[in-house]
Amino acid sequence: MFSGKTTELIARLSHAAGSGARVLALKPLRDNRYAHGELVTHAGLRFAAAPVASALDIPVSATGFQVVGIDEAHFFGPSLITPCIDLVNRGARVIIAGVERDHNGRPFEPFPTLLCEADEVLKLGGPCARCGAPAVHSQRMTGSDEAIVVGGADMYQPRCRACFGLP
- CA-to-CA dists, residue 5 to 38, 45, 95, 124, angstroms: 15, 12, 11, 7
Q: Does a cis peptide bond (omega within 30 degrees of 0) precede residue 51?
A: no
143 three-state secondary structure:
coil
DSSP-based helix, strand, coil % in the chain, nearest 5: 25, 20, 55
Beta carbons within 10 angstroms of residue 137's beta carbon: 23
Nearest to 25 by CA among 102, 84, 94, 117: 94
Strand 46-48 relative to strand 67-70: parallel, antiparallel, unpaired?
unpaired
- Tell me whether residue 72 is one of the annotated catalytic residues: yes
- Catalytic member of 72, 109, 117, 120: 72
Find residue 51's DSSP bridge partners.
Answer: 27
User: Which residues carry out catalysis?
Assistant: 72
